[in-house]
Amino acid sequence: MRIEAAVSRAGEAHPTIEALDLEEPRAGEVRVRVAAAGICHTDLYCHAGLGVPIPMPIVLGHEGAGIIEALGGGVRELAVGDHVVLSGASCGRCPKCLAGRPTYCRDAMKLSFGGARADGSSPLSQRGEPVHGMFFGQSSFATHLIAPERSAVKVAKDLPLHRLGPLGCGMITGAGSVLEAFRVAPGQSIVIFGVGSVGLAAVMAARIAGAPSIVAVDVSAERLRLAGELGATHTLRFDATTAGVLREIERDGFIFSFNTTNVAEVFTLAVECLAMEGTAGFVTRPRGGWTPNMATLLACGRKLQGILGGGAAPQRFIPLLLDYWGQGRFPFERLIEEFPFERIGEAWEACAQGAVVKPVLVMPPSEA
Protein backbone atom coordinates (compact mmCIF):
# COMPACT_ATOMS: atom_id res chain seq x y z
CA MET A 1 0.00 0.00 0.00
CA ARG A 2 1.00 3.63 -0.46
CA ILE A 3 1.92 5.41 2.77
CA GLU A 4 3.51 8.67 3.86
CA ALA A 5 6.71 8.40 5.85
CA ALA A 6 9.43 10.76 7.04
CA VAL A 7 12.61 9.58 5.30
CA SER A 8 16.10 10.25 6.69
CA ARG A 9 18.67 10.98 4.00
CA ALA A 10 22.34 11.72 4.69
CA GLY A 11 23.18 15.40 5.07
CA GLU A 12 19.62 16.68 5.57
CA ALA A 13 18.64 18.68 8.66
CA HIS A 14 15.66 16.49 9.48
CA PRO A 15 13.62 13.65 7.93
CA THR A 16 11.20 14.78 5.22
CA ILE A 17 7.80 13.33 4.40
CA GLU A 18 7.66 11.32 1.17
CA ALA A 19 5.32 8.76 -0.40
CA LEU A 20 6.56 5.17 0.05
CA ASP A 21 5.23 1.69 -0.60
CA LEU A 22 4.65 -0.67 2.31
CA GLU A 23 4.54 -4.47 1.86
CA GLU A 24 1.78 -6.61 3.28
CA PRO A 25 2.66 -8.10 6.70
CA ARG A 26 4.52 -11.40 6.54
CA ALA A 27 4.09 -14.34 8.92
CA GLY A 28 4.31 -13.18 12.54
CA GLU A 29 3.90 -9.49 11.61
CA VAL A 30 1.12 -6.94 11.89
CA ARG A 31 0.34 -3.75 9.98
CA VAL A 32 -0.39 -0.80 12.22
CA ARG A 33 -2.01 2.49 11.29
CA VAL A 34 0.09 4.85 13.38
CA ALA A 35 -1.82 7.26 15.61
CA ALA A 36 1.26 9.09 16.89
CA ALA A 37 4.98 8.64 17.44
CA GLY A 38 7.34 10.25 19.92
CA ILE A 39 10.75 11.61 18.92
CA CYS A 40 13.69 10.35 21.00
CA HIS A 41 17.28 11.57 21.02
CA THR A 42 18.31 8.24 19.51
CA ASP A 43 16.36 9.25 16.38
CA LEU A 44 18.22 12.57 16.30
CA TYR A 45 21.65 10.95 16.72
CA CYS A 46 20.95 8.27 14.11
CA HIS A 47 19.63 10.80 11.60
CA ALA A 48 22.73 12.95 12.07
CA GLY A 49 25.04 9.93 11.70
CA LEU A 50 26.29 10.36 15.28
CA GLY A 51 24.79 7.29 16.95
CA VAL A 52 25.05 3.61 16.13
CA PRO A 53 25.78 3.47 12.36
CA ILE A 54 22.60 2.91 10.32
CA PRO A 55 22.00 2.44 6.60
CA MET A 56 20.26 5.26 4.68
CA PRO A 57 17.79 6.18 3.36
CA ILE A 58 15.77 4.96 6.34
CA VAL A 59 12.54 5.70 8.18
CA LEU A 60 13.31 6.22 11.88
CA GLY A 61 10.88 6.46 14.82
CA HIS A 62 10.67 3.99 17.70
CA GLU A 63 7.93 5.33 19.98
CA GLY A 64 4.88 4.48 17.90
CA ALA A 65 1.30 3.79 18.98
CA GLY A 66 -1.55 2.85 16.70
CA ILE A 67 -4.29 0.49 15.62
CA ILE A 68 -3.81 -2.93 14.02
CA GLU A 69 -5.10 -2.92 10.46
CA ALA A 70 -3.92 -6.26 9.06
CA LEU A 71 -2.37 -9.49 10.32
CA GLY A 72 0.29 -11.69 8.77
CA GLY A 73 0.04 -15.47 9.00
CA GLY A 74 0.14 -17.16 12.37
CA VAL A 75 -0.59 -14.06 14.48
CA ARG A 76 -2.79 -15.25 17.33
CA GLU A 77 -2.38 -12.84 20.22
CA LEU A 78 -3.52 -9.73 18.34
CA ALA A 79 -6.57 -8.87 16.23
CA VAL A 80 -7.52 -6.20 13.68
CA GLY A 81 -8.73 -3.14 15.59
CA ASP A 82 -6.52 -3.73 18.64
CA HIS A 83 -4.75 -0.66 20.02
CA VAL A 84 -1.03 -1.21 20.47
CA VAL A 85 2.11 0.49 21.76
CA LEU A 86 5.27 -0.52 19.90
CA SER A 87 8.51 -1.22 21.69
CA GLY A 88 11.91 -2.67 20.79
CA ALA A 89 12.48 -5.73 18.63
CA SER A 90 13.87 -9.04 19.85
CA CYS A 91 14.25 -12.55 18.44
CA GLY A 92 12.15 -14.47 20.97
CA ARG A 93 14.46 -17.49 20.91
CA CYS A 94 17.81 -16.59 22.51
CA PRO A 95 18.58 -17.22 26.22
CA LYS A 96 17.72 -13.66 27.33
CA CYS A 97 14.48 -13.58 25.32
CA LEU A 98 13.49 -16.94 26.81
CA ALA A 99 14.28 -15.56 30.27
CA GLY A 100 11.90 -12.62 29.70
CA ARG A 101 14.79 -10.12 29.29
CA PRO A 102 14.30 -9.13 25.64
CA THR A 103 16.19 -5.82 25.82
CA TYR A 104 19.34 -7.95 26.07
CA CYS A 105 18.37 -10.17 23.14
CA ARG A 106 21.50 -11.29 21.32
CA ASP A 107 20.09 -9.82 18.10
CA ALA A 108 18.72 -6.60 19.66
CA MET A 109 21.28 -4.28 18.08
CA LYS A 110 20.87 -5.78 14.62
CA LEU A 111 17.06 -5.79 14.86
CA SER A 112 17.01 -2.20 16.18
CA PHE A 113 19.61 -0.51 13.98
CA GLY A 114 20.07 -2.84 10.97
CA GLY A 115 17.37 -1.13 8.88
CA ALA A 116 15.81 -4.47 7.97
CA ARG A 117 14.21 -7.67 9.22
CA ALA A 118 16.52 -10.44 10.47
CA ASP A 119 16.61 -11.85 6.91
CA GLY A 120 17.82 -8.51 5.50
CA SER A 121 14.56 -7.49 3.82
CA SER A 122 12.73 -4.20 4.37
CA PRO A 123 8.97 -3.77 4.00
CA LEU A 124 9.53 -0.24 2.60
CA SER A 125 10.35 0.86 -0.94
CA GLN A 126 9.98 3.84 -3.26
CA ARG A 127 9.35 3.36 -6.99
CA GLY A 128 10.80 -0.13 -6.69
CA GLU A 129 13.96 0.98 -4.84
CA PRO A 130 14.32 -0.39 -1.30
CA VAL A 131 14.15 2.04 1.63
CA HIS A 132 15.44 0.85 4.99
CA GLY A 133 12.93 0.33 7.76
CA MET A 134 12.12 -1.83 10.79
CA PHE A 135 14.04 0.67 12.97
CA PHE A 136 13.59 -0.87 16.46
CA GLY A 137 11.15 -3.21 14.68
CA GLN A 138 8.82 -0.35 13.75
CA SER A 139 9.96 2.78 11.82
CA SER A 140 7.05 4.75 13.22
CA PHE A 141 7.60 8.17 11.58
CA ALA A 142 4.97 7.05 9.09
CA THR A 143 1.23 6.80 8.63
CA HIS A 144 1.52 2.97 8.62
CA LEU A 145 4.15 0.43 9.60
CA ILE A 146 4.89 -3.27 9.73
CA ALA A 147 5.98 -4.65 13.10
CA PRO A 148 6.70 -8.09 14.50
CA GLU A 149 3.84 -9.31 16.69
CA ARG A 150 6.31 -9.56 19.60
CA SER A 151 6.95 -5.79 19.52
CA ALA A 152 3.29 -4.76 19.75
CA VAL A 153 1.91 -4.40 23.27
CA LYS A 154 -1.89 -4.45 23.36
CA VAL A 155 -3.49 -1.66 25.40
CA ALA A 156 -7.07 -0.83 26.39
CA LYS A 157 -9.14 1.06 23.82
CA ASP A 158 -10.32 3.71 26.28
CA LEU A 159 -6.77 5.05 26.77
CA PRO A 160 -5.55 8.17 24.87
CA LEU A 161 -3.68 6.22 22.17
CA HIS A 162 -1.98 9.26 20.59
CA ARG A 163 -0.10 9.88 23.83
CA LEU A 164 1.08 6.35 24.55
CA GLY A 165 4.00 6.01 22.11
CA PRO A 166 6.69 7.35 24.49
CA LEU A 167 5.96 4.41 26.82
CA GLY A 168 7.83 2.25 24.26
CA CYS A 169 11.23 3.91 24.72
CA GLY A 170 11.67 7.05 26.85
CA MET A 171 9.27 6.06 29.63
CA ILE A 172 10.22 2.38 29.82
CA THR A 173 13.92 3.34 29.83
CA GLY A 174 13.61 5.79 32.73
CA ALA A 175 11.04 3.95 34.83
CA GLY A 176 12.43 0.49 34.04
CA SER A 177 15.91 1.52 35.14
CA VAL A 178 14.57 2.45 38.59
CA LEU A 179 11.98 -0.27 39.09
CA GLU A 180 13.46 -3.21 37.14
CA ALA A 181 17.22 -2.72 36.68
CA PHE A 182 17.91 -1.12 40.10
CA ARG A 183 14.82 -2.42 41.91
CA VAL A 184 14.97 0.66 44.17
CA ALA A 185 13.38 -0.22 47.53
CA PRO A 186 11.77 2.07 50.14
CA GLY A 187 14.54 3.85 52.05
CA GLN A 188 17.06 3.82 49.19
CA SER A 189 18.27 7.19 47.90
CA ILE A 190 18.81 8.08 44.25
CA VAL A 191 20.27 10.98 42.32
CA ILE A 192 19.22 11.47 38.71
CA PHE A 193 21.53 13.37 36.35
CA GLY A 194 19.72 14.92 33.39
CA VAL A 195 15.94 15.28 33.62
CA GLY A 196 14.77 15.06 30.03
CA SER A 197 12.08 12.50 29.30
CA VAL A 198 14.13 9.50 30.53
CA GLY A 199 15.28 11.29 33.70
CA LEU A 200 11.77 12.56 34.51
CA ALA A 201 10.35 9.06 34.04
CA ALA A 202 13.01 7.91 36.54
CA VAL A 203 11.94 10.64 38.99
CA MET A 204 8.30 9.48 38.84
CA ALA A 205 9.36 5.84 39.22
CA ALA A 206 11.63 6.62 42.19
CA ARG A 207 8.66 8.18 43.93
CA ILE A 208 6.57 5.07 43.19
CA ALA A 209 9.44 2.96 44.62
CA GLY A 210 9.44 4.97 47.87
CA ALA A 211 12.91 6.51 47.62
CA PRO A 212 13.26 9.05 50.46
CA SER A 213 15.78 11.25 48.61
CA ILE A 214 15.20 11.79 44.90
CA VAL A 215 17.68 14.40 43.72
CA ALA A 216 17.35 15.80 40.21
CA VAL A 217 20.41 17.49 38.65
CA ASP A 218 20.22 19.39 35.37
CA VAL A 219 21.28 22.65 33.72
CA SER A 220 17.71 23.73 32.89
CA ALA A 221 15.74 25.57 35.58
CA GLU A 222 12.52 24.79 33.70
CA ARG A 223 13.15 21.03 33.74
CA LEU A 224 14.19 21.10 37.38
CA ARG A 225 10.92 22.80 38.24
CA LEU A 226 9.05 20.01 36.44
CA ALA A 227 11.17 17.39 38.24
CA GLY A 228 10.14 18.96 41.54
CA GLU A 229 6.47 18.78 40.59
CA LEU A 230 6.83 15.13 39.54
CA GLY A 231 8.44 13.96 42.78
CA ALA A 232 12.06 15.08 43.11
CA THR A 233 12.78 15.97 46.76
CA HIS A 234 15.75 18.16 45.78
CA THR A 235 16.58 19.92 42.51
CA LEU A 236 20.11 21.11 41.76
CA ARG A 237 21.45 23.25 38.96
CA PHE A 238 24.61 21.43 37.79
CA ASP A 239 27.76 23.44 38.50
CA ALA A 240 31.07 23.24 40.37
CA THR A 241 29.29 23.06 43.76
CA THR A 242 27.10 20.04 42.89
CA ALA A 243 29.39 17.40 44.41
CA GLY A 244 29.49 19.25 47.73
CA VAL A 245 25.73 19.79 47.84
CA LEU A 246 25.11 16.10 47.12
CA ARG A 247 27.34 15.21 50.10
CA GLU A 248 25.30 17.53 52.29
CA ILE A 249 22.06 15.81 51.22
CA GLU A 250 23.38 12.24 51.69
CA ARG A 251 26.43 12.25 53.95
CA ASP A 252 27.12 8.56 53.28
CA GLY A 253 26.40 8.83 49.57
CA PHE A 254 23.56 7.64 47.37
CA ILE A 255 22.61 3.99 46.93
CA PHE A 256 21.90 4.68 43.24
CA SER A 257 22.82 7.26 40.65
CA PHE A 258 21.16 7.33 37.26
CA ASN A 259 22.93 9.19 34.47
CA THR A 260 20.97 10.08 31.32
CA THR A 261 23.64 12.48 30.00
CA ASN A 262 26.65 11.89 27.76
CA VAL A 263 28.89 14.30 29.69
CA ALA A 264 32.15 12.74 30.92
CA GLU A 265 32.26 15.03 34.00
CA VAL A 266 28.81 13.76 35.01
CA PHE A 267 29.95 10.14 34.67
CA THR A 268 32.70 10.90 37.20
CA LEU A 269 30.32 12.63 39.61
CA ALA A 270 27.73 9.84 39.24
CA VAL A 271 30.30 7.38 40.62
CA GLU A 272 31.85 9.70 43.22
CA CYS A 273 28.48 10.56 44.83
CA LEU A 274 27.68 6.91 45.57
CA ALA A 275 27.55 5.21 48.95
CA MET A 276 29.66 2.14 49.64
CA GLU A 277 28.42 -0.59 47.29
CA GLY A 278 26.28 1.93 45.43
CA THR A 279 25.38 1.50 41.77
CA ALA A 280 25.82 4.05 38.97
CA GLY A 281 23.47 3.29 36.05
CA PHE A 282 23.88 4.89 32.64
CA VAL A 283 21.87 4.79 29.42
CA THR A 284 24.15 6.40 26.87
CA ARG A 285 27.86 6.58 26.14
CA PRO A 286 30.12 9.40 27.38
CA ARG A 287 30.90 11.84 24.58
CA GLY A 288 34.62 11.90 23.86
CA GLY A 289 35.28 8.85 26.05
CA TRP A 290 35.79 8.55 29.79
CA THR A 291 38.01 6.54 32.11
CA PRO A 292 36.48 5.39 35.39
CA ASN A 293 38.51 5.67 38.58
CA MET A 294 39.07 1.97 39.17
CA ALA A 295 40.62 2.58 42.60
CA THR A 296 37.42 4.06 44.05
CA LEU A 297 35.21 1.49 42.29
CA LEU A 298 37.29 -1.21 43.96
CA ALA A 299 37.79 0.37 47.37
CA CYS A 300 34.10 1.27 47.72
CA GLY A 301 32.62 -1.84 46.08
CA ARG A 302 30.75 0.35 43.65
CA LYS A 303 29.16 -0.85 40.42
CA LEU A 304 28.79 0.74 36.99
CA GLN A 305 25.72 -0.62 35.22
CA GLY A 306 24.78 -0.10 31.56
CA ILE A 307 21.00 -0.20 31.10
CA LEU A 308 19.16 -0.69 27.81
CA GLY A 309 15.42 -0.11 27.57
CA GLY A 310 15.24 0.05 31.35
CA GLY A 311 16.02 -3.67 31.40
CA ALA A 312 12.25 -4.15 31.33
CA ALA A 313 10.14 -6.53 29.22
CA PRO A 314 7.68 -4.29 27.32
CA GLN A 315 4.81 -6.82 27.29
CA ARG A 316 4.85 -6.94 31.08
CA PHE A 317 6.11 -3.47 32.02
CA ILE A 318 4.08 -1.15 29.74
CA PRO A 319 0.75 -2.38 31.21
CA LEU A 320 2.25 -1.80 34.68
CA LEU A 321 3.16 1.80 33.77
CA LEU A 322 -0.39 2.30 32.49
CA ASP A 323 -1.72 1.07 35.84
CA TYR A 324 0.44 3.65 37.63
CA TRP A 325 -0.74 6.29 35.14
CA GLY A 326 -4.37 5.36 35.91
CA GLN A 327 -3.64 5.86 39.62
CA GLY A 328 -2.19 9.31 38.90
CA ARG A 329 1.31 8.17 39.94
CA PHE A 330 2.95 8.29 36.52
CA PRO A 331 1.62 11.43 34.76
CA PHE A 332 3.92 11.14 31.74
CA GLU A 333 1.52 13.15 29.56
CA ARG A 334 2.96 16.23 31.28
CA LEU A 335 6.19 15.76 29.31
CA ILE A 336 4.47 15.63 25.92
CA GLU A 337 3.89 18.33 23.35
CA GLU A 338 2.02 17.30 20.23
CA PHE A 339 2.97 18.34 16.67
CA PRO A 340 1.08 17.47 13.48
CA PHE A 341 3.17 15.02 11.40
CA GLU A 342 3.79 17.59 8.66
CA ARG A 343 5.55 19.82 11.20
CA ILE A 344 8.24 17.19 11.85
CA GLY A 345 11.00 19.72 11.08
CA GLU A 346 9.79 22.01 13.84
CA ALA A 347 9.35 19.10 16.29
CA TRP A 348 12.86 17.85 15.41
CA GLU A 349 14.37 21.24 16.19
CA ALA A 350 12.38 21.53 19.44
CA CYS A 351 13.74 18.14 20.54
CA ALA A 352 17.33 18.99 19.54
CA GLN A 353 17.23 22.35 21.34
CA GLY A 354 15.55 20.88 24.41
CA ALA A 355 12.65 23.33 24.03
CA VAL A 356 10.21 20.43 24.41
CA VAL A 357 10.80 17.44 26.69
CA LYS A 358 8.95 14.91 24.53
CA PRO A 359 7.65 15.95 21.12
CA VAL A 360 5.01 13.58 19.74
CA LEU A 361 4.08 13.57 16.04
CA VAL A 362 0.34 13.07 15.54
CA MET A 363 -0.50 11.38 12.25
CA PRO A 364 -3.30 12.67 10.01
CA PRO A 365 -6.63 10.87 10.50
CA SER A 366 -7.25 7.88 8.24
CA GLU A 367 -9.18 8.57 5.02
CA ALA A 368 -11.04 5.29 5.36
Per the omega criterion (within 30 degrees of 0), is the bond before 57 cis? yes
Residue 28 to residue 291: CA distance in whole angstroms: 44
Residue 320 to residue 326: CA distance in whole angstroms: 10
Each residue 165-204 as x (binds Zn ion by CB under 5 A) or -, in order, gives ----x-----------------------------------
Contact between 152 and Zn ion by CB under 5 A: the answer reads no
Number of residues that bind Zn ion (CB under 5 A): 8
Contact between 90 and Zn ion by CB under 5 A: the answer reads yes
Contact between 46 and Zn ion by CB under 5 A: the answer reads no
What lies within 8 Å, CB to CB, of 49 at 6+ separation is 10
- Partners of 144 in the beta sheet? 33
Residue 356 to residue 197: CA distance in whole angstroms: 10
Residue 221 to residue 354: CA distance in whole angstroms: 12
Ramachandran region of residue 96, left (φ > 0), alpha (ψ -120 to 50) or beta? alpha
- The nearest distance, CB 95 to Zn ion, in angstroms, is 8
Contact between 94 and Zn ion by CB under 5 A: the answer reads yes
CB-wise, 194 or 278, nearer to Zn ion? 194
Contact between 227 and Zn ion by CB under 5 A: the answer reads no
- The nearest distance, CB 107 to Zn ion, in angstroms, is 6
- The nearest distance, CB 92 to Zn ion, in angstroms, is 6
Member of 20, 68, 89, 91 binding Zn ion (CB under 5 A): 91
Contact between 40 and Zn ion by CB under 5 A: the answer reads yes
CB-wise, 43 or 218, nearer to Zn ion? 43
Whether the CA torsion 106, 112, 114, 119 is positive or negative: it is: positive
CB-wise, 272 or 349, nearer to Zn ion? 349
Contact between 307 and Zn ion by CB under 5 A: the answer reads no
- The nearest distance, CB 51 to Zn ion, in angstroms, is 10
Each residue 110-149 as x (binds Zn ion by CB under 5 A) or -, in order, gives ----------------------------------------
Q: What would the DSSP string read from start to end of 130-182?
A: EEB--GGGT--SBSEEEEEGGGEEEE-TTS-GGG-GGGGTHHHHHHHIIIIIS
- The nearest distance, CB 52 to Zn ion, in angstroms, is 12
Ramachandran region of residue 210, left (φ > 0), alpha (ψ -120 to 50) or beta? left
Tell me whether residue 108 is exposed, middle or buried, using C-beta atoms within 10 angstroms of its C-beta: 0 to 12, 13 to 18, 19 or more. Answer: buried
CB-wise, 66 or 253, nearer to Zn ion? 66
Residue 156 to residue 333: CA distance in whole angstroms: 17
- The nearest distance, CB 207 to Zn ion, in angstroms, is 22
Say which amino acid occupies 249.
I
Backbone angles phi, psi at 249, to 5 degrees: -70, -45
Member of 89, 97, 217, 322 binding Zn ion (CB under 5 A): 97
- The nearest distance, CB 186 to Zn ion, in angstroms, is 29
- The nearest distance, CB 102 to Zn ion, in angstroms, is 6
CB-wise, 181 or 215, nearer to Zn ion? 181
Name the site residues for Zn ion (rule: CB under 5 A).
Answer: 40, 42, 90-91, 94, 97, 105, 169
